[in-house]
Structure 1
């Protein structure tokens, strides 16, 4: 008897919640960003601010792709990647980056490059790091939660970090309104931490994505005048300890493979490499 095998891509909704969480929770560190968004808002497209595509094979959801400001494939093999790329190409580029596991993103970008044109930057190998125990090094006791009235102090440091990391300032499009709102949200939620001296940020980092299983540290930055003095190591020890003590049982982040000082600092704190992602930036 011949078995009919069918596959398709569709936009998922609340009826798919159980299947979606099952896929995301299979890799809680690798999927922390998408999982945090889904857990915070649900699968309604308007609330999510994005579409979550499902690759359906033989009646079951086998792979996902988050399509918003970022295009993020999840558990996507070659066939799913091809289907997701076809859908993305038909819709036209609406994202500022493609981020995810190296094989999936590399394949997706090969398929989208002819239609979407050259990327501004490609980060081909960004190690994913994880920490699940308190750091052995001493934390910087001056690193603390940023208070709402200190947003004007923190924001320039965030802009400087973003510009160094991405290559363009975050306020080049809308004057920074969306980016500032995001930073303000992190401050209000108590997930922005910094060492502030004399009205200036010495060290900072934020906890971006959060799920019951993991949280993702982002925006790590040391003021140029204070680099090489151990602020990254002891500051990250403070952030990691704070994250593990009350946010999630695992702290994670990803770093550019060429950023030797940062990778050395994270190793001293105790982070270990558990995977790698690729980013295509537009």
Structure 2
């Protein structure tokens, strides 16, 4: 049982009681939320972005996460709702003039006061260290304290003058209730965007697929389709019985032949009003119709024939 060398065990060493619940240090939790990136756990450096749930990130960390979504990253669950860079907003933060940063601690012998915030509210002057509730506008990215929005009620941003609605106000690092409310708003917003895209697609396809049809050709055609046998018979009849030549009489007694109307059969050159010199160029002219005896037979002998 031990007790060698005169050691005397105490009761808490022999009897195991219930484990004490570890209490989370609130100050350390606030420092982690407001000074470190949610994804990479590195110190927040500009450009700083925030998601639709009010969490703070380094923009470089978000881009790396979107490019390499590996399942090995445990911290990827915190940003699983970020599908593209459009789901985050770059924040316009106001620097705290009382914050020195790492300038005075070059030798490493000075204590860094993490309770002092790096950024402040530009309207009221409250420090953004987690002691006060802060929010940002999704339309422009400006950051204010919640007290400033309540005391100075306006429908326009206090710094840039952009118009915003209640849906555009997102609380930074809010409570569980705030996160649930923001999550429902985010889902509704994305659902509305999907329905808007689906409504635009059919309109675009209809305009492309349906060309401009004239009013006369609209509707079903009244022309009856004929069998191929009937069509072949009609073509034979047209060949055997050519259409009569159309003559145009302009009221004059001269028996000149007029030009054929549009849509009639082809007319021969012999019946045209052209000159005889022009007509003699074609084989249908009387001068071209000579017997074989009168026609010449030319034979040329070249070196290629042998």
- When the two structures are superposed, what TM-score results if normalisation uses the length of structure 2? 0.20
Structure with the larger strand share? 1
Where relative contact order (Cα < 8 A, 6+ residues apart) is larger, the structure is 1
State which structure, 1 or 2, has the greater radius of gyration over its C-alpha atoms. Answer: 2
Structure with the larger helix share? 1
- When the two structures are superposed, what TM-score results if normalisation uses the length of structure 1? 0.21
